[in-house]
C-alpha cells in the first residue's frame, strides 16, 4: 500500500521504516529539512537498535523515501499517518498545534475529488479525531473525502523497531467499512491481536495504558521505600507480586522514577482530560507527584553519606532516560545534574549514546566534564551515581571500579550490581529498595 508519514521523530521514522520493511511504499515528510537530509542519506538521526539497517535496506529497495514537499507525499499516499509531537503545555495539557498544523497542511494540499485516510498515531486527548475532522473539512473546503482512524503507537524507545514489528496488540479506532478494509490490509502480515474500536475508545486506550504503567512504576517505588525502612528486598518482593499472572512482573523494577517523552507528559495530559470531564483524577495526581520527587532520593542518599557535596568529584553513569536510547527528554538525570550543579559539585558524566543530546543542555565547563568511557569518568571520584541500566555498566568488574575511585561510594538508581558482592569488596553501596535482611537471603540472588 502507499503510505505517507508526517513527522519523522522517534515514532514517525520507526513507523515509516517498519511499514516499508513489511512491503509498503512509504513516503516520509517533516518540516525539519535537516532530519530529511540525514534520513535521505541512509543515516539515522536517532539511536535506535536495528533502525539504520532497515532504513538503508528499504531506501535501496525504493520502498522508503523522504521529502519536504507535502504535495509529493499526498500524491503518493492512500493512508497518511500523523506522527508529529504532542508535547505538554504549562498546565499539563497536550499541545496539539503540531497535529493541527499537519492536518491543515494535508487538507489544503489534497487535490479535489480524492479520498485519503488520515491516521492519528500521535498520542492525543479523547475527542481529537472530531477536531481533526472539522478542521480538515474547513481547510479543504469540502473538495475531497477523508476518513479518520486512530491507531496509537505503543513502541518503547530502545526496542522500538522490535516492538513495532512484534506488537502485543494493534489498536485501531475507526468509523467506516472502507477505513477498516484499508487498515486490515495494511496490517495483514501482523499476526497479532487487532483491537477494533470506535475512535474515542482508541484515544482513551493510549493514555490509559501509559498512565497505568506509570502508576505501576510509582507503586513499586513506594514499596521499595518501605523495603528500605522496614527491611525487605524489593526485587524479591516484585517477583512475589509480579509472578501473579493477574499482575505481571513487567514494570515492577524499582528505581529513580519514570522519565522519557511519554509517561510524564501522558500522565499529566490524562489528568487534564479527566479534570475537564469532571472525573476524579486524584489517583493519577499522586502518581505524578510521587514521581516528580523521586529523583531527590539520590541526592539525599549522597548527602547522608558525604555530608557536604560542594567541590566534590562525582561521576554519573547514564544520562538517557532508559538504556538503548539517546533520548534524554524528562530523564531523571536532568534534575539530578541540575541539583548537583547548584550544590557546586564537579560532575563527571558518561553515557554511551546520549552525550550529544545532554551536552546541548549542559555544555562542558568548569563544573561539568564529559568522558568517552565509564572508567575515565570515575577517576578519583568520591561517589558514583548510576542512573541508566546500560548493559556495559553491569559488565564492568566492580574491583576495577573500586580501584579507580577515591572513595568507594555508589548510589545505584537501577540496582545493576549484586549488593553482597559490593559490600564484600568494601563499597559503600546504596541500591534502591534493599533494607535490612538475613545475610543468606541477600546472597541468594
Ligand X SMILES: NC(=O)c1ccc[n+]([C@@H]2O[C@H](COP(=O)([O-])OP(=O)(O)OC[C@H]3O[C@@H](n4cnc5c(N)ncnc54)[C@H](O)[C@@H]3O)[C@@H](O)[C@H]2O)c1
Contact footprint for ligand X (CB under 6 A)? 6-12, 29-32, 35, 83-86, 98, 101-102, 122-123, 153, 155, 157, 261-262
Q: Which is nearer to ligand X, 95 or 359 (CB)?
A: 95
18, 28, 83, 262: which one is catalytic? 262
Residue 192 is given by DSSP the state S
Instruction: Give the list of residues 6+ apart from residue 415 with CB closer than 8 angstroms, or none.
Output: 234, 235, 253, 254, 255, 431, 432, 433, 434
- Cβ neighbours, 10 Å, residue 343: 18
Q: CB of 118: closest distance to ligand X in angstroms?
A: 13
CA distances from 431 to 44, 52, 227, 434 (A): 35, 35, 11, 7
Annotation marks residue 83 as catalytic: no
Q: d(Cα 357, Cα 193) in Å, to the nearest integer? A: 37
Instruction: Give the list of residues 6+ apart from residue 309 with CB closer than 8 angstroms, or none.
Output: 299, 302, 303, 340, 343, 344, 345
Tell me the chain's radius of gyration from C-alpha atoms.
24
Q: CB of 139: closest distance to ligand X in angstroms?
A: 13
Q: CB of 298: closest distance to ligand X in angstroms?
A: 24
CA distances from 395 to 223, 349, 381, 416 (A): 28, 18, 20, 9
Q: Which residue is nearest to ligand X (CB)?
A: 9
Q: CB of 23: closest distance to ligand X in angstroms?
A: 23
Q: CB of 263: closest distance to ligand X in angstroms?
A: 9
Q: Which is nearer to ligand X, 14 or 385 (CB)?
A: 14
Q: Which is nearer to ligand X, 32 or 424 (CB)?
A: 32
Q: d(Cα 58, Cα 51) in Å, to the nearest integer? A: 11
Q: d(Cα 313, Cα 340) in Å, to the nearest integer? A: 10
Q: Which is nearer to ligand X, 8 or 415 (CB)?
A: 8
Q: CB of 209: closest distance to ligand X in angstroms?
A: 10
Q: Which is nearer to ligand X, 357 or 415 (CB)?
A: 357
Q: d(Cα 195, Cα 72) in Å, to the nearest integer? A: 32
The position carrying cell 543468606 is 440
Q: How many Cα atoms are found within 13 Å in the side-chain-facing hemisphere of 132?
A: 30
Residue 429 is given by DSSP the state E
Q: Which is nearer to ligand X, 159 or 420 (CB)?
A: 159
Q: d(Cα 356, Cα 364) in Å, to the nearest integer? A: 11
Query: Cell for 438?
Result: 538475613
Q: CB of 82: closest distance to ligand X in angstroms?
A: 8
First to last CA, the chain: 50
Q: Which is nearer to ligand X, 117 or 267 (CB)?
A: 267
CA distances from 382 to 367, 395, 409 (A): 15, 21, 7
The catalytic residues are 262
Amino acid at each position: 500500500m502507499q503510505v505517507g508519514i508526517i513527522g519523522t521523530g522517534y515514532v514517525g521514522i520507526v513507523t515509516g521504516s517498519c511499514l516499508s520493511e513489511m512491503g509498503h511504499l512509504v513516503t516520509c515528510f517533516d518540516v525539519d529539512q535537516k532530519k530529511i537530509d540525514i534520513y535521505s542519506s541512509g543515516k539515522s538521526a536517532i539511536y535506535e537498535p536495528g533502525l539504520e539497517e532497515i532504513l538503508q535496506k528499504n531506501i535501496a529497495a525504493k520502498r522508503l523515501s523522504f521529502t519536504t514537499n507535502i504535495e509529493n507525499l499526498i500524491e503518493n499516499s492512500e493512508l497518511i499517518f500523523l506522527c508529529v509531537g504532542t508535547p505538554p503545555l504549562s498546565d499539563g495539557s497536550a499541545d496539539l498545534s503540531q497535529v493541527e498544523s499537519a492536518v491543515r497542511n494535508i487538507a489544503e494540499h489534497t487535490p479535489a475529488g480524492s479520498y485519503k485516510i488520515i491516521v492519528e498515531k500521535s498520542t492525543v486527548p479523547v475527542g481529537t479525531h472530531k477536531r481533526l475532522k472539522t478542521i480538515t473539512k474547513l481547510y479543504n473546503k469540502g473538495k475531497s473525502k477523508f476518513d479518520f482512524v486512530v491507531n496509537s503507537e505503543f513502541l518503547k524507545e530502545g526496542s522500538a523497531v522490535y516492538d513495532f514489528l512484534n506488537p502485543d496488540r494493534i489498536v485501531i479506532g475507526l468509523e467506516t467499512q472502507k477505513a477498516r478494509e484499508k487498515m486490515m490490509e495494511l496490517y495483514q502480515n501482523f499476526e497479532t491481536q487487532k483491537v477494533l474500536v470506535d475512535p474515542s475508545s482508541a484515544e482513551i486506550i493510549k493514555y490509559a495504558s501509559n498512565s497505568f504503567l506509570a502508576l505501576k512504576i510509582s507503586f513499586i517505588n513506594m514499596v521499595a521505600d518501605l523495603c528500605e525502612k522496614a527491611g525487605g528486598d524489593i526485587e524479591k518482593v516484585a517477583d512475589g507480586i509480579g509472578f501473579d499472572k493477574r499482575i505481571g512482573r513487567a514494570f515492577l523494577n524499582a528505581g529513580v522514577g519514570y522519565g522519557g517523552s511519554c509517561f510524564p507528559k501522558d500522565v499529566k495530559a490524562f489528568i487534564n482530560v479527566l479534570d475537564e470531564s469532571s472525573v476524579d483524577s486524584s489517583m493519577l495526581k499522586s502518581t505524578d507527584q510521587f514521581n516528580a520527587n523521586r529523583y531527590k532520593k539520590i541526592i539525599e542518599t549522597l548527602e547522608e553519606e558525604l555530608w557536604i557535596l560542594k567541590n566534590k568529584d562525582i561521576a554519573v553513569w547514564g544520562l538517557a532516560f532508559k538504556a538503548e536510547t539517546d533520548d534524554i527528554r524528562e530523564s531523571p538525570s536532568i534534575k539530578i545534574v541540575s541539583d548537583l550543579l547548584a550544590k557546586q559539585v564537579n560532575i563527571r558524566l558518561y553515557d554511551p549514546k546520549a552525550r550529544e543530546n545532554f551536552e546541548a543542555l549542559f555544555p562542558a565547563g568548569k563544573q561539568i566534564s564529559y568522558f568517552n568511557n565509564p572508567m575515565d569518568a570515575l577517576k578519583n571520584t568520591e561517589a558514583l551515581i548510576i542512573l541508566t541500566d546500560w548493559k556495559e555498566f553491569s559488565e564492568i568488574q566492580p574491583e576495577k571500579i573500586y580501584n579507580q575511585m577515591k572513595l568507594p561510594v555508589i548510589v545505584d538508581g537501577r540496582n545493576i550490581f549484586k549488593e553482597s558482592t559490593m559490600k564484600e569488596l568494601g563499597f559503600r553501596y546504596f541500591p534502591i529498595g534493599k533494607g535490612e535482611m538475613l545475610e543468606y537471603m541477600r546472597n541468594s540472588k
